[in-house]
């Protein structure tokens, strides 16, 4: 069986939230969402966790999060740097926005050599989700005709915020349970009529609440780094001058599927997802965790 790594994307600037939400306590004893994620990963069978962070808050992150796990699982770090670009490319003047989640994964290429799951630091995915993707990655073998990846999907209606718009990767799944395509919708809001996407041109479209969306819980084999490296260069050639452009994981996966370079098995989970996008979401997350503790899903203290 393969050793399996958890890659935690924690370098986000938290612009909508108003601070470093990755370090915000949500548990009864000061636990962060990351604490629960790593706890779930350890009991699912992951052997290593790699945190992708910004170097400017490395000391605080290690002290408040990473050091909690050094005696329970192998802990490593990778740094996402806006200036870390392929040869021949330079950061445009005035650019401050990171290059996106695809670039964050590339930052970990030197410390990940085994199948790995990718998660957002501020999303709570649930015990069952970690167990399913770890079991999958422990046995995954790339096929001769292409790379074999995976994704844990959630119903759209279970992933919305009461406090503002969210970005979601809307998935199309074939009869074999494989991902056919994923489309990134960047402004989905919750309404009385159901989820609605608001496009840049002002058009609104009502979405199916049962539709499966990507919450950035992906399963990859190490060959994905070669794919992402090439695709990131292509992305920069087309989008370098656009100050708000980002290289998203769903965009990369969608391209690999359409070019028949990879297949992605969609894993169904009984876990509930919730996350912290806005400050106002924090209260809901805290109450949800307290409910899971009362039901016996988690101990009252993770330390």
Per-range mean pLDDT, top range of 176-180, 239-243, 248-252, 281-285: 176-180
Tell me the per-residue pLDDT of 242-251, one tens digit each, with 9 for 90 and over: 888 999 898 8
Q: What is the mean pLDDT of the chain?
A: 89
Domains identified in the chain and CATH numbers: 5-294 (3.90.550.10)
To which H or E segment does residue 239 belong?
Answer: helix 224-239
Q: What is the pLDDT of residue 22?
A: 64
Does residue 270 surpass a pLDDT of 50? yes
How many other CB atoms are found less than 10 A from the CB of residue 274? 19
Per-residue pLDDT at 277 exceeds 80: no
Does pTM top 0.95 for this prediction?
no
Per-residue exposure over 75-89, b if at least 16 CB sit within 10 Å of its own CB, e if not: bebbbbbeeebeeee
Strands (E), 226-278: 262-267, 274-275
pLDDT bucket at 143, cuts 50 / 70 / 90: low
pLDDT of residue 253 exceeding 70: yes
pLDDT band at 17 (very low <50, low <70, confident <90, very high): very low
Mean pLDDT of 261-271: 91
């Amino acid at each position: 069986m393969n050793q399996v790594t958890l890659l935690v994307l924690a370098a986000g600037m938290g612009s909508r939230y108003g601070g470093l939400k990755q370090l915000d306590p949500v548990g009864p004893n000061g636990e962060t969402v990351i604490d629960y994620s790593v706890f779930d990963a350890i009991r699912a069978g992951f052997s290593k966790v790699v945190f992708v962070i910004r170097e400017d808050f490395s000391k605080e992150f290690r002290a408040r999060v990473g050091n909690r796990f050094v005696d329970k699982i192998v802990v490593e770090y990778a740094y996402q740097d806006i200036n870390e670009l392929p040869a021949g490319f330079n950061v445009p003047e005035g650019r401050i926005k990171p290059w996106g989640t695809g670039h964050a994964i590339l930052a970990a290429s030197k410390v990940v050599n085994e199948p790995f799951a990718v998660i957002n630091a501020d999303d709570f995915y649930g015990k069952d989700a970690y167990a399913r993707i770890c079991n999958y990655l422990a046995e995954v073998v790339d096929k001769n005709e292409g790379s074999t990846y995976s994704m844990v999907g959630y119903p759209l209606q279970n992933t919305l915020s009461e406090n503002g718009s969210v970005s979601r990767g809307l998935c199309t799944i074939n009869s074999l349970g494989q991902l056919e395509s994923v489309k990134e919708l960047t402004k989905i809001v919750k309404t009385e009529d159901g989820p609605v996407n608001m496009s840049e041109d002002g058009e609104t479209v009502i979405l199916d609440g049962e539709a499966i969306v990507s919450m950035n819980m992906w399963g990859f084999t190490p060959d994905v780094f070669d794919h992402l490296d090439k695709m990131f260069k292509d992305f920069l050639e087309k989008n370098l001058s656009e100050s708000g452009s980002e290289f998203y994981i769903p965009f990369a996966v969608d391209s690999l599927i359409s070019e028949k370079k990879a297949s992605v098995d969609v894993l169904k989970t009984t876990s509930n997802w919730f996350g912290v996008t806005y400050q106002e979401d924090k209260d809901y997350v805290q109450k949800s965790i307290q409910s899971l503790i009362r039901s016996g899903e988690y101990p009252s203290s993770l330390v």
